[in-house]
Amino acid sequence: MIPRKNMGRVSPLLLILLALGFFFATYNLVTLIIHNRATTSSSFSISTSGSRSNGGGGSEWFDPVKESNLVKLGDRKFHVALTATDAPYSKWQCRIMYYWYKKMKERDGSEMGGFTRVLHSGKPDNLMEEIPTFVVDPLPEGLDRGYIVLNRPWAFVQWLEKATIEEEYILMAEPDHVFANPLPNLARGDLPAAFPFFYIKPAEHEEVIRKYYPEELGPVTNVDPIGNSPVIIKKSILEKIAPTWMNVSLRMKDDPETDKAFGWVLEMYGYAVASALHGVRHILRKDFMLQPPWDLEVGKKFIIHYTYGCDYNMKGELTYGKIGEWRFDKRSYLRGPPPKNLSLPPPGVPESVVRLVKMVNEATANIPGWETE
């Protein structure tokens, strides 16, 4: 007969272990509930595969207050870098961009550090003293096949290799960006931050994407719906991605099917695929940037991207695709800068367009020797 004197008694050590187990399980459950409730108020997401998707292409949501508390350790400044050519069209945009960088850098909430125009024309130009500039070589003649933005990843590869960059983080920007509000560091540790573009759709081009991102590496949703700009990223991570970004972009351009599918945004897909190849996912921030005339208000968004033409009749109605009675389109100034004091839009035009033109006018009124470029 088996003795029964210990039946019904439990070791005190076992009780302690069970109590600890229930404590951690309850803590994790409560944390998960609080975390998920943040989905109703959060302003940004991180793209992850296999979880619920938000309309902007992101999925898992973070509480912005809690996340910001986690990352206020150490120096969070980021270096602003944009690639450019020595063409007049590029120069005047860079001058306006640099003007607003200097103004917004000094305002509360900004975490901007230094600034570099990465000039991939291979030789200095007449803006060297006005704008901090690092000269790099263009791609060998003919390699870009007339698609000049293929020089962008090659320019970053050279700059990262040769330049001394003090900041731990880098913002990759473009000449047609205007800082509308002071920009903090939107990255979170090793997680870079990017703007989700509605026209970058890896899942709709899975057959093409698989030429560069094979199935064994994971679902095509690992490729974020982004380009390289705007992106805030750790310098050490960008140093790994940049050569891959360059090589993937060149391979894409050499492939007729890919070139046809991606067109003028091919290099953007190149960066997205290169990031995925390195296992890098991005926090997707819709408030990173706005694009007039489609985005109607600036609000708390950080960058105005004026890539689209803004055409309106005198009633303030958009006439996109048809030259308007009033218009602002950067392509109207391919050979030289826009004049000072551009006319403001007629009543009824969205605030974002009005704000853009006023910011251009302020910059051109205050940049010395504006109309000499």
Could you read off the pLDDT of 161-183 as tens digits, one per residue? 999 999 999 999 999 999 999 99
Say if CB 313 and CB 319 are below 8 A apart: yes
Band of the pLDDT at 373, cuts 50, 70, 90? low
Determine the Cα–Cα distance for residues 174 and 227; give it in Å rounded to an integer: 11
Residue 19 host element (H or E)? helix 12-37
DSSP-derived secondary structure letter, 191: B
Q: Is 188 left (phi over 0), alpha (psi -120 to 50) or beta?
A: beta
Q: What is the pTM of this model?
A: 0.82
Q: Six-digit token pair at 92?
A: 């005047």
Q: What is the pLDDT of residues 119-166, one digit of tens each?
A: 999 999 999 999 999 999 999 999 989 899 999 999 999 999 999 999
- Average of per-residue pLDDT across 312-321: 96
Encode pLDDT of 97-114 as tens digits. 999 999 999 999 999 999
Residue whose pair of structure tokens reads 């690092």 in the numeric block: 134
The backbone torsions φ and ψ at residue 35, rounded to the nearest 5 degrees and listed phi first, read -60, -45
- The more confident residue out of 352 and 34 is 352
Determine the Cα–Cα distance for residues 211 and 101; give it in Å rounded to an integer: 39
Euclidean distance between CA atoms 202 and 328, whole angstroms: 32
The pLDDT tens digits for 233-259 are 999 999 999 999 999 999 999 999 999
User: Distance between CA 54 and CA 304 in Å, rounded?
Assistant: 23
Residue with tokens 């009780």: 15
Q: Is the pLDDT of residue 225 over 80?
A: yes
At 286 the pLDDT is: 97
In angstroms, rounded to a whole number, what is the distance separating the alpha carbons of residues 49 and 26?
27
**Res. 46 pLDDT band, cuts 50 70 90:** very low
Mean pLDDT of 301-318: 98
In order, the DSSP letters of 61-101 are E--HHHHHHHT-SS---EEEEEEE-SSHHHHHHHHHHHHHH
